[in-house]
Amino acid sequence: MAQINIEIDGKAVQVPAGQTVMDAANQIGVYIPHFCYHKKLSIAANCRMCLVQIEKAPKPMPACATPVAEGMKVQTHSEQAVTAQKGVMEFLLINHPLDCPICDQGGECQLQDLAVGYGASASRYQEDKRVVFHKNVGPLISMEEMTRCIHCTRCVRFGQEIAGIMELGMSGRGEHAEIQSFVGRTVDSELSGNMIDLCPVGALTSKPFRYQARTWELARRKSIAPHDSLGSNLVVQVKGERVMRVLPLENEALNECWLSDKDRFSYEGLNSPDRLTAPMLKQGGEWKEVDWQTALRYVAEGLAGITKEHGADAIAALVSPHSTLEEMALAAQLVRGLGSDNVDFRLRQTDFRADGKRRGAPWLGMPVADLNSLDRILVVGSFLRKDHPLVAARLRQAVKKGRGTQHRPRHRRRLADAGARQGNRRPGPLWRSAGRHPRGAREVEGRGRAGGAGGGHADG
């Protein structure tokens, strides 16, 4: 691709043609203030916070929407640029409530941060501020303070472009513009929590985390997602000994900057009052809390009794696949110590005929990041959007790029057989239209249908 030479704040930079001034600035580490721009979303250019001065341009231009041109000279912190940016900030703060001390986003709010640099110490606005009524969109996302919304439309674009389900939209214009779901519907998609991360202000916040802690009170631990079978990277945020929140950790090779709702919100189970936290024994038909010594002695005696009466083979351990490797190893050691070899973790498998016949460990056969560029995709026996929401999001990107949209009805049966033979080692064909297909096979659709790759039959 042709390279373009431009200058940003006096620094020369070479970028591929077609990139924007924002991309070029990011490449050399120059920060341009922004709200609506996000590297994974389309350009909306509706907040105007990224206005910069460009030589020969009659007025400041939005860096996120201005393509680079040969010899372009950009000033991001000149007097003209900063005056424009401060003007935009003043407009944004006309209606945004100044409630940082009680706002849940305080400490991690893009608007709060930028207001420090670009906001004035007092407002010239004397009129009444507008008020936007709160909305209830379900148990995960709080839309209690929609007056804070700055209409960047990141949440709307995320639904449209990444999740494949447009659950939020903007109604009205100008001062009457509002973000809302379609006629009071709830937000139910499997990636909805990412809209909370994307919101640059405290308009969309996490309902379970709301008012539980301040961001600076939390310690951070890197971890791996246990539910999406992708190993998404995440950060567990802890206060004292309690997990308070889980957020994605960016990894382009796996989850990019997203996280599925099941991995984001399942930490709530850890703090559930229904959770068993102390050993209990059933005595006289009633569960009673006992100390660990009593419980362990009871179990040891029980196991010894079974071994004596029925033999060691009568003992087996079915370990949850959610256990850690260390827990599994200890369980195996215990059962083997009792003389039994019956240990398994495949709790949902009923057919074991392939045992010992497969060579090596089954795997995807390609890096996860390459899923976006597949030509053909055959999904067998999985409702991708529910089972693997982030894989579905990647396949959706592939379909959006125009890949795999061929319609081959006459060869469908033959392609199905070929895809089934290839198993999960090589990508099979992608069909477009509904019709006969092998039992359990799900179609990944091309353009022209809400939900795209991830949407499948659920949205059709």
Number of residues that bind ligand FES (CB under 6 A): 11
What is the footprint of ligand SF4 within residues 32-91 (CB under 6 A)? none
Contact pattern from residue 29 through residue 68 relative to ligand FES, giving x for each residue in contact according to CB under 6 A and a dash for the rest: -----xxxx-------x-xxxx-----------x-x----
Least CB distance from residue 36 to ligand FES, whole Å? Answer: 3
Least CB distance from residue 179 to ligand FES, whole Å? Answer: 16
By C-beta, is 203 or 371 nearer to ligand SF4?
A: 203
Pairing of strands 317-318, 135-136: unpaired
By C-beta, is 33 or 452 nearer to ligand FES?
A: 33
Least CB distance from residue 171 to ligand SF4, whole Å? Answer: 12
By C-beta, is 36 or 319 nearer to ligand FES?
A: 36
- Residues 6 or more apart whose Cβ sits within 8 Å of residue 438: 380, 416, 420
Least CB distance from residue 155 to ligand SF4, whole Å? Answer: 3
Q: Which amino acid is at 219?
A: A
- Work out what residue 149 binds among ligand FES, ligand SF4, none; the CB cut-off runs from 5 to 8 Å by kind: ligand SF4
- Work out what residue 430 binds among ligand FES, ligand SF4, none; the CB cut-off runs from 5 to 8 Å by kind: none
What is the footprint of ligand SF4 within residues 96-155 (CB under 6 A)? 149-155
Count Cα atoms within 13 angstroms, Cβ side, for 207. 15
Least CB distance from residue 320 to ligand SF4, whole Å? Answer: 37
Q: Which of 370, 431, 426 is nearest to 395 (CA)?
A: 370
Least CB distance from residue 21 to ligand FES, whole Å? Answer: 10
Least CB distance from residue 199 to ligand SF4, whole Å? Answer: 3
- Token pair, residue 384, equals 């991708």
| 8 A C-beta contact, residue 255 and residue 247 | no
Supply φ then ψ for residue 304, to 5 degrees: -65, -40
- Work out what residue 34 binds among ligand SF4, ligand FES, none; the CB cut-off runs from 5 to 8 Å by kind: ligand FES
- Work out what residue 150 binds among ligand SF4, ligand FES, none; the CB cut-off runs from 5 to 8 Å by kind: ligand SF4
By C-beta, is 24 or 162 nearer to ligand SF4?
A: 162
| 8 A C-beta contact, residue 161 and residue 42 | yes
By C-beta, is 200 or 455 nearer to ligand SF4?
A: 200
What is the footprint of ligand FES within residues 242-261 (CB under 6 A)? none
CA distances from residue 49 to 29, 152, 208, 238 in whole angstroms, order as listed? 18, 10, 31, 34
- Residues 6 or more apart whose Cβ sits within 8 Å of residue 83: none
Contact pattern from residue 64 through residue 93 relative to ligand FES, giving x for each residue in contact according to CB under 6 A and a dash for the rest: x-----------------------------
Number of residues that bind ligand SF4 (CB under 6 A): 14
Distance CA 220, CA 224 (A): 13
CA quadruple 24, 27, 30, 31: dihedral sign: positive
CA dihedral 385, 207, 109, 241 (to 10 degrees): -100
- By CB under 6 A, is residue 93 in contact with ligand SF4? no
- Residues 6 or more apart whose Cβ sits within 8 Å of residue 19: 4, 67, 68
- Work out what residue 76 binds among ligand SF4, ligand FES, none; the CB cut-off runs from 5 to 8 Å by kind: none
Least CB distance from residue 73 to ligand FES, whole Å? Answer: 19
Contact pattern from residue 167 through residue 206 relative to ligand SF4, giving x for each residue in contact according to CB under 6 A and a dash for the rest: ------------x------------------xxxx-xx--
Distance CA 328, CA 318 (A): 10
Q: Which of 218, 215, 206, 210 is nearest to 243 (CA)?
A: 218
- Work out what residue 179 binds among ligand FES, ligand SF4, none; the CB cut-off runs from 5 to 8 Å by kind: ligand SF4
Please state at what angle helix 389-400 crosses helix 452-459, rounded to 10 degrees: 110
What is the footprint of ligand FES within residues 397-436 (CB under 6 A)? none
- Token pair, residue 433, equals 């239209």
DSSP at 67: B
Q: What's the maximum distance between 2 C-alpha atoms anywhere in the chain?
A: 93
29: region left, alpha or beta (phi > 0 left; psi from -120 to 50 alpha):
left
Residues in touch with ligand SF4 (CB under 6 A): 149-155, 179, 198-201, 203-204
The binding site for ligand FES (CB under 6 A) comprises 34-37, 45, 47-50, 62, 64
